[in-house]
Amino acid sequence: MSRIGKKPVPVPKGVTVKVEGQTVTAKGPKGELKFVVNDLCSVALEGEEVGVTPNDKSSKAARAQWGMSRTMIANLMAGVTNGYSRKLELVGVGYRAALKGANLNLALGYSHDIEVPAPAGVKFETPKPTEIIVSGIDKQLVGETAAKIRSLRPPEPYQGKGVRYEGEFIFRKEGKKK
């Protein structure tokens, strides 16, 4: 039994939720998001809570989708009320970020600057030249965009240079010995 799936998702104040078939739509102060629940589970709006139940409790696939569906619905609620953000740090000599309109312009030690276009629903901020904040209401899109920026120059283990998440630990290696 899914411990996560058993708990109903409470609907926060200021959020309206509609359940039409397998589609859950949440509308709040930050925007509107939709999620389509897998056919192995059924979803229902009960008062001020959204509940998810598996159609076949003996099926392993249905139980796996049960907890995941509940978490995705909870992410909708959090996204339309508070939103999500990921902070990235640039470590290295000459590494810097700047906004060019809505796009992000990165100098990461290559012979050219890299321009990252902002996907719809994602906003970039650069409070310092070595800091990037990726924010939006869709948790998956914010995380994916931050991962794409990090993949442009992942941190390397010898000097620790590169793009890293805030607070990320980089396992450092010792260099060559004479």
E-only strand ranges, 21-154: 23-27, 32-36, 41-46, 49-54, 84-91, 96-100, 103-107, 114-116, 122-125, 131-136
Q: Which of 21, 52, 81 is the last residue of a domain?
A: 81
Would you state the pLDDT for residue 84? 96
User: What's the CA angle centered on 144, arms 138 and 148, to 5 degrees?
Assistant: 145
In the chain, what is the greatest distance between 2 CA atoms, to the nearest angstrom? 71
Compute CA distances 5 → 24, 68, 105, 164, 165, whole Å.
16, 8, 42, 33, 30
Q: Is residue 39 part of a domain?
A: yes
Q: Is residue 171 part of a domain?
A: no
Q: Is residue 150 part of a domain?
A: yes
Would you state the pLDDT for residue 1? 58
d(CA 159, CA 78): 37
Would you state the pLDDT for residue 178? 79
Q: Is residue 94 within 8 Å of residue 45, measured between CB atoms? A: no
Prediction pTM value = 0.88
* Structural domain count, the chain: 2
Shared domain for 120 and 143, answered yes or no, is: yes
Shared domain for 90 and 159, answered yes or no, is: yes
For residue 22, what are the domain limits?
A: 3-81
**Consecutive 10-residue runs of the chain (178 residues): their mean pLDDT?**
82 92 92 92 90 88 90 94 95 94 93 95 95 96 96 94 94 88
